[in-house]
Chains A and B, each alone.
Chain A
């Protein structure tokens, strides 16, 4: 009996381990598709065929109103969507980490001021602000990424700060200070490495929300018409009649791509996050 239970347990663990591979697997296949777009895409996304074709052997996902091949649009569009997501997240992670580290490490006045600024940024309705700014400026994906990066560092700053407050009280930090290392040295070589594990999952969630926001803002027609992203694809399908006429092959694939890719990011973030709360068990 005990044997059976043990066998069942290890089977369950194996299944769990497989599930946890799903996130990285989806993630890397999307990245690969974006990198190899020139090789794997069946057509040039701007080449025109007969419009409104249903999915078929010629065009696996059909064509849109301009006669562009949707599968090719999807593959090339992943480049823009991913680039916006990642550049926004890299910028906001850098800002958030810097603010959190300095506020948590120096405390006192620096902490008060930096956290005050963070609280103010938290109150900004971010998407409406990006909409207003994008309406005034020439639409561009880089601008969108820049604005998101500048607005979305607050959550990470708070997390990094509270982790820094813990780390700075630990022995090795006191040791490094006692030896006479400069504050900068201590922050970057002792404190920062110990905050990385709270940064990593939050970074992925930021990529995820930046991609959802990109799709939303592009949906309003505020993106660069000379480039294609998943968001612009849905936007055109909606504004040029694909949605009303039930052409599911036009708007469904880009939407599903966003959902699936975001899901892979959230799953990976979840695995990273759960690692540090897993060990203790009550029941």
Chain B
């Protein structure tokens, strides 16, 4: 079961990364330009030399094998625009993005499932209705627009938070001050998605017979929710958080742009402006790898938490 899934992830990895190989070669325009980026201007000789170096004059299957060999050597190509290897560019930026994404996903999962479960359990109460409306509004707003609103009101008008970047002086307190608003928005954004799922899932679970049985047994309302229903309703969340990872991560890229943070999102934004294709492709490959790893991790965790899956192995 678990190995079958892992095999599927391997196939997905192979196909998506191969797609990444195919894109610049299949797209209209000169392949060399597609591989190097739009604003690279070179002499005729340098062009030929580069052609040999990039390997476009070789047969396609050799290029394909070289592409995979490079990938396993963590070589994602060279940005002629920024004059640096793509992998080191990404490595420099990704830690900042992870600083934004990792706490947000974890907090978003906890806040979303907990509040969502309570809201589904007591959905008739005014408080949980109000809360649901709030999360619904966040759910329906593009995350970058939410960031613009927060930045304008809390940063600009009230001056509570710095307007841009990850740090100024570089102390931990300073970084935390810069990170607070983007992390808050990211957390709300990811919590809103988990909240909706969890609320719906608890509303469904509460109709199950075991819930009635627990009530007949004399458990209090909270006991039923946290001892019985929560576990059953929360399990699928592990998988869903992982499936959502790509989406949340993309959301972070946009939030970074609004807050002018020096992470992957701005790397993509900048390389879009000058059509720096190697960087775009490198980031796509890295994001793909992270999405697949997140799902693999979720499946393994699921196996640890849910005995039914554990025994199927």
* A interface with B by C-beta (< 8 Å): 116, 119-120, 122-129, 131-133, 135-137, 208, 212, 215-216, 219-222, 234, 238, 243, 246, 248, 251, 255, 258-259, 262-263, 266-267, 273, 277, 280-283
Contact = CB atoms under 8 A, between A and B. Distances in A.
Given A116-B8, A219-B254, A277-B207, A127 B145 contact: no
Contact of B15 (A120, A136, A277): A120
A40 to B, nearest CB: 24
Contacts of A137: 27-28
Which of A119, A129, A262 has most chain B Cβ within 10 Å?
A129
Nearest to B290: A125
Q: 10 tightest A-B contacts by CB?
A: A127-B250, A125-B246, A136-B27, A262-B140, A255-B145, A123-B12, A120-B12, A263-B140, A280-B207, A259-B141
B58 interface: no
Nearest to B246: A125
Interface in B10-30: 11-13, 15-16, 19-20, 23-24, 27-29
B23 A125 contact: no
Contacts of B16: 120, 123-124
Interface string B268-312: 110011010100110110011001100100000000000000000
A136 B29 contact: yes
Interface core residue of B152, B156, B215, B281 (most chain A CB under 10 Å) = B152
A255 B148 CA distance: 10
Contact of B292 (A123, A133, A136, A263): A123
A200 to B, nearest CB: 16
Nearest to A255: B145
7 contacts: A116-B8, A126-B246, A131-B268, A133-B23, A255-B149, A259-B140, A266-B139
Nearest to B8: A119
Contacts of B28: 136-137
Given A128-B283, A251-B148, A281-B207, A259 B250 contact: no
Contacts of B295: 123
B237 to A, nearest CB: 16
A135 B12 contact: no
A209 to B, nearest CB: 9
B204 interface: yes
A120 B8 contact: yes
A234 B146 CA distance: 12
B36 interface: no
Interface of A is mostly: helix
Contacts, number: 134
B145 A258 contact: yes
Contacts of A255: 141-142, 145, 148-149
A129 B148 contact: no
B102 to A, nearest CB: 17
Q: How large is the interface on B (under 10, 10 to 19, 20 to 34, 35 or more residues)?
A: 35 or more
A259 B145 CA distance: 9
Contacts of B204: 277
Given A120-B15, A216-B144, A282-B215, A136 B291 contact: no
Nearest to B224: A282
B212 interface: yes
Contacts of A273: 200
Contact of B243 (A122, A220, A243, A277): A122
A89 B11 CA distance: 27
Contacts of A266: 136, 139-140
Given A266-B139, A282-B215, A243 B152 contact: yes
B211 interface: yes
Given A258-B145, A266-B139, A277-B203, 20 more contacts: A116-B8, A125-B249, A125-B288, A125-B291, A127-B247, A128-B246, A131-B284, A136-B29, A137-B27, A216-B144, A216-B250, A216-B254, A219-B142, A220-B268, A221-B272, A255-B141, A258-B141, A258-B142, A259-B140, A262-B141
B110 interface: no
Contacts of A283: 215
A131 B23 contact: no
Contacts of A133: 23, 27
A42 B297 CA distance: 55
Contacts of A280: 207
Given A124-B16, A127-B250, A221-B273, A136 B145 contact: no
A215 B142 contact: yes
B258 interface: yes
B9 interface: yes
Contacts of A243: 148, 152
Interface string B128-163: 000000001101111011001100100010000000
Residue picked from A136, A222, A251, most chain B C-beta under 10 Å: A136
A124 B288 contact: yes
A219 B246 CA distance: 18
A12 B197 CA distance: 26
Given A122-B243, A136-B24, A131 B272 contact: yes
Given A125-B288, A238-B258, A136 B23 contact: yes
Contacts of B273: 221
Nearest to A122: B243
Contact of A220 (B20, B247, B272): B272
A248 B152 contact: yes
A150 B107 CA distance: 32
Interface in B229-271: 243, 246-247, 249-250, 253-254, 257-258, 268-269
